[in-house]
Structure 1
Amino acid sequence: MRIEMEPIGYVRNEVKDRKDTAWGEDTSSILLDKRYISGLKGLEDFSHVIIIYHLDKAKYEKDKHLQRRPQNREDMPLVGIFSQRGKDRPNRIGMTSVKVVSVSEDALVVKGLDAVDGTPVLDIKPYYPVYDKKDAVVPEWVNRLMEHYF
């Protein structure tokens, strides 16, 4: 089976190179294709959204990425790709919950999106606490890994 998607827009920000930390202060605009602009209506009433995007600069190599230490850090355990949010994934799909800064006629401005300038955006979903934040449990190493991410 082959699945094809078209971007609904693109990320615009000052981040030109992939990185593993310090995304919290980055502000990004998501500039929508004109066909989807009216789909932003009502989003200004949400504090957070989920951005789903194509990791177009990722390069998945099974032998290198299927199991690895997150961010290639020696203090992290060896885990599978599906136990981490690494960017080099089999299907190059990225997803991040971000804070809404503003909504204009043709753009959504967000803070904390871990995507570089020019990244294709596939979808935008409103963050619903009842769906998206439950009593989640993560391994101890995840908290250490994320100390300087945002």
Structure 2
Amino acid sequence: MEFTIIGTVKSPITEPVDMNWGEVVSEIVLKPEYAPGLLGLDDFSHLMVLTVLHEAEYVPEKHLRRHPQERMDFPLVGIFAQRARHRPNRIGVTSVEIVEVTDSSVKVRALDAIDGTPVIDIKPYVPVYDRKDATIPEWMLEMMKGYF
């Protein structure tokens, strides 16, 4: 299976970090052939961005089970119980706020992707699909303090 890269992230952040993404404004610049697909997106306030975590390196012995952010005060959990970037399939998913839609790009706030990250899809955030009433463990709430 192959994915088509539809665009690239332009971001002031050039190195992966685990904190303070909330106010970062990035731009998703689409390839010209996909730009017409932005029609109507400006009617939404948020979207889901799917990226290729191109600088991540998954090492099963290190990443399949680990303490999130290497913090020993968090429980040992499997990769599928966390949102770490080092994954078997280096796919990132982030819900972001739309700042501006142009003819060929979308400016967004709180996209945790570095400059040059390939984008494989964007979809409008629709609460009826994307549940807000989800349950998450306490350690995840603690870990996310300061992330966005």
TM-score (norm 1): 0.97
Q: Which has the higher helix share?
A: 1
% of aligned pairs identical?
Answer: 52
Cα drift, residue 133 of structure 1: 1.8
User: Is residue 2:119 matched to residue 1:98?
Assistant: no
Q: Residue 138 of structure 2 aligns with which residue?
A: 140
Matched residue SS, 2:144 = helix
Moved more, 127-136 or 96-105: 127-136
Cα drift, residue 134 of structure 1: 4.1
Cα drift, residue 135 of structure 1: 2.1
1:73-124 deviations in Å (ceiling 9; x for gaps):
1211100000000000000000000000000011000000000000000000
How many residues align? The count is: 148
Q: What CA distance in whole angstroms lies between the structure 1 residues aligned with 2:25 and 2:131?
A: 23
Unpaired runs of 5+ in structure 1?
Answer: none
Q: What CA distance in whole angstroms lies between the structure 2 residues aligned with 1:33 and 1:146?
A: 32
Give structure 1 regions of 4+ aligned residues with deviation exceeding 3 angstroms.
none
Q: What CA distance in whole angstroms lies between the structure 1 residues aligned with 2:12 and 2:46?
A: 21
Q: Residue 24 of structure 1 aligns with which residue?
A: 22
TM-score (norm 2): 0.98
Q: What CA distance in whole angstroms lies between the structure 1 residues aligned with 2:109 and 2:70?
A: 26
User: Is residue 2:85 matched to residue 1:83?
Assistant: no
Matched residue SS, 2:143 = helix
**Letter of the structure 2 residue corresponding to residue 86 of structure 1:** A
**Letter of the structure 2 residue corresponding to residue 141 of structure 1:** W
Unpaired runs of 5+ in structure 2?
Answer: none
RMSD over equivalenced CA pairs, Å: 0.7
